[in-house]
Amino acid sequence: MKTNLRFHLGLTAILLSVLSALDVRALALATDNLNGTPPSIGEKLASFQLTDYQGKEWTLDEFRSKKAIVFAFVGTQCPLAKLYSTKLAELDKEYGKQGVAFVAVDSNVQDSLAEMAAHARKFGFDFAFLKDPAQDLANRLGVTRTPEVCVVDSESRIRYRGRIDDQYGIGYTKKTATKTELIAALDSILNNQDVATTTSSASGCLIGRGPREIGKPDADVVVTYADQVSRILQARCVSCHRSGEIGPMDLSNYEDASAWADMIVEVIDEKRMPPWHASPEHGTFINDRRLPPQDIATIKQWVRTGTPRGDSAQEPAPLKFVEGWLLPREPDLVVPMSDKPFDVPARGDVRYQYFVADPKFTEDTWVNGMEIVPGNRAIVHHILVFAREKATAENGNRRRGGVEGERGFLVGYVPGTRAQMMPLGLAKRLPANSELVFQIHYTPNGTAQTDLSKVGFWIADPKTITHEVQTTSAVQTAFRIPPKDGNYKTEAMQPEELLDCELLSMSPHMHVRGKSFRYTAVYPDKTREVLMDVPNYDFNWQTEYRLSEPKKLPKGTRIFCEAAFDNSPDNMNNPNPNAWVSWGDQTYEEMMIGYFHISVPIDPKLGRAPEVKKAPPPRPTPDQIFSALDSDKDDKILKDEIPTQLLPMFLRLDKNKDGVLERSELPK
């Protein structure tokens, strides 16, 4: 009862603050800010009166004794604001002891008090977290995005406005920040010095301001949410952008969609959303997410005229989704990765983790739908699930992973993956008495986390299956990307020849230096055809590109893949442009894998598709062996670092007999 009363008192206080904020001065400030004229550095901040998410009232006088105040504008749905919230809590602990006050501010009209409370708990906010419902404080400080900070000194003068640092940005993440503007500003103020950098551009989400009249519709064009925009969002956006899904903002209702309107236009203009990276010159794809030009024009007209709702009775019925799953019905079988969650540390590298689960299949099982659901999307980067023969005393299959060298997988989850049922007659086969191996890559995000991921299966009637779906790949592990090389190229050929089959989809995989990727079919007569080209690969959106129509590949066809990497300082995702980069699991290393998915006709005698004769793996070259042994990547290997079985080769190659093998001594 006490909690509810406190919540309603807080809500009442916020409503009153909205009314009090709508005076002439606040409206003028809001207009100036929207017109791009923020207050100047050195201007004084007038006092304000806002309440926090618990209903407590705050004014500027609360902080008069502080040497500086950091106003940090955050949003509960903004991905960058979430990433920086942990850092804000850490900075508060460090600088709070030196007389600096941190104040978090939420100016988004779409963020509720309950969402603010959850955000504060999750990220450990031990400082004031204010609701700025009319954007009055944001306008007074000239802030337009989350996360953006504004530093005010003890005399209430604005001394710095902009980003926190450069560790996180749109489409990139650095291991550590190289430019720390907020820290530099605070250190200068505490030392009574001028702030060297007074403003910087902040990346992130535009503050959600809600419906407003900022223009007039064209004479013959009236665009409303009810009649046009809601239908575009349902068709193109809502499957991801809804509560509990991968999209960071809810676009399934008018209130939220109108609040995010400016941000929608920005990401469309910058071609960040909807995410799609395949060139239209090669192939057509059933999951092509690009917005048609007429839809883009409609959305922009709606935003230009103040996001009118129209007749809400004309809005389409909300889309129905199965809670917790993308596929259209509950799975027939759900297999968790383990019987208990896995603990992920706050920082550091986490090696690939392997979890073995028993689905208890006593006979071959055909599945025409599969979906992996990460238990914690904040720290799960990718999951691959493999099927293998159960460990027995006879087969000696006792290792925890047991999937090394696999070029295919049963089902995968990576950023951008959208699960889909297979076409009628197609399915994957899980052999009888097989077990599942979950390979999971975790990426710590600054706070200790836990994860318990799972996979769901939709089981098909074997009598309806005509083709077996298989996943394989072309892989290149023997590459070494030079420092600062902005266009390093490598290639890979699928080693075995395909049987008669149909190509269903393609899934290129690289890490943060990935630049472009191309698939080419090499037919038995040696002619070639480009199947797909991704000129601007994005590590954050690893799409499975599904062909609109399956493409027939005759027996003897092989798939050839070409990739380019950007190891230059111009690549904002690059963790270290001065490093030589080789194959490795971690995101600061690289991979080059061209996965593709085919359907092979079932042999009635076998009851499954015939197996392709596996080509023997290529023997490693001296350069590959050298790279594997050169753990510190200094292009030198000492004699005592060499395994005994390789010592004869070391002695043979060490031409100057100094006990050190250098890469230059290897045969060309």
Give the Cα separation of 328 and 306 in Å (integer).
35
Q: Tell me the sheet residues that pair with 467.
A: 426, 601
Q: Please, are residues 344 and 448 in contact by the beta-carbon 8 Å criterion?
A: yes
Place of tokens 């599969």: 370
Among 218, 257, 252, CA closest to 235: 252
Q: In this predicted structure, what is the pLDDT of residue 194? A: 95
Give the Cα separation of 453 and 341 in Å (integer).
8
pLDDT in tens, 99-142: 999 999 999 999 999 999 999 999 999 999 999 999 999 999 99
Using CA atoms, how far residue 111 sits from 116, 262, 318, in Å, is: 7, 16, 21
Q: In this predicted structure, what is the pLDDT of residue 23? A: 35
Q: In this predicted structure, what is the pLDDT of residue 24? A: 31
pTM beyond 0.85, yes or no: no
Q: Please, are residues 661 and 637 in contact by the beta-carbon 8 Å criterion?
A: yes
SS3 230: helix
Q: Please, are residues 56 and 158 in contact by the beta-carbon 8 Å criterion?
A: no
Domains, the chain, ranges and CATH? 2-206 (3.40.30.10), 225-314 (no CATH), 324-465 (2.60.120), 470-603 (2.60.120.230), 623-665 (no CATH)
> DSSP string spanning 461-508?
PGGG--EEEEEEEEE-----BPTT-S-EEEEEE-SSPP-SEEEEEEEE
Q: In this predicted structure, what is the pLDDT of residue 148? A: 97
Q: In this predicted structure, what is the pLDDT of residue 631? A: 65
Q: Please, are residues 454 and 337 in contact by the beta-carbon 8 Å criterion?
A: yes
Among 349, 405, 341, CA closest to 376: 341
Q: Please, are residues 582 and 590 in contact by the beta-carbon 8 Å criterion?
A: yes
Length of the chain as a residue count: 668
Q: H helices then E strands: how many in the chain?
A: 12, 31
Q: Is the peptide bond before 147 cis (omega within 30 degrees of 0)?
A: yes
Who contacts 572 (Cβ-Cβ below 8 Å, separation ≥6)?
169, 171, 172, 174
pLDDT in tens, 496-544: 999 999 999 999 999 999 999 999 999 999 999 999 999 999 988 889 9
Helices marked H in 134-210: 136-141, 181-190
Q: In this predicted structure, what is the pLDDT of residue 647? A: 79
Question: Which tokens go with 357?
Answer: 């689960």
Give the Cα separation of 73 and 213 in Å (integer).
25
> DSSP string spanning 376-435?
-TTTEEEEEEEEEEPP-TTT----S---TT----SEEE-TT----PPPTTEEEEE-TTEE
Q: Please, are residues 76 and 111 in contact by the beta-carbon 8 Å criterion?
A: yes
Using CA atoms, how far residue 190 sits from 288, 529, 606, in Å, is: 53, 64, 77
Q: Please, are residues 321 and 243 in contact by the beta-carbon 8 Å criterion?
A: no
Q: Please, are residues 473 and 425 in contact by the beta-carbon 8 Å criterion?
A: no
Q: In this predicted structure, what is the pLDDT of residue 586? A: 86
Q: In this predicted structure, what is the pLDDT of residue 258? A: 92
Q: Please, are residues 325 and 452 in contact by the beta-carbon 8 Å criterion?
A: no
Among 375, 372, 371, CA closest to 341: 375
SS3 527: coil
Q: Please, are residues 456 and 359 in contact by the beta-carbon 8 Å criterion?
A: no
State the maximum Cα–Cα separation within the chain, in Å, rounded to a whole number: 86
pLDDT in tens, 543-557: 999 999 999 999 999
Among 667, 617, 266, CA closest to 475: 617
Q: In this predicted structure, what is the pLDDT of residue 446? A: 79
Place of tokens 């500086």: 68
Q: Indicate the angle between helix axes 79-96 and 181-190, nearest 10 degrees.
A: 20
Give the Cα separation of 21 and 90 in Å (integer).
32
Q: From the first residue on, what is the mean pLDDT of each consecutive set of 10 residues in the chain (668 residues)?
A: 38 36 35 59 94 94 95 95 94 96 96 94 95 94 96 96 94 87 97 95 90 54 90 91 82 92 92 91 93 94 92 91 89 96 92 93 94 92 92 51 67 86 94 94 88 97 95 92 95 93 96 96 97 94 94 96 96 91 90 96 89 65 75 77 75 83 80
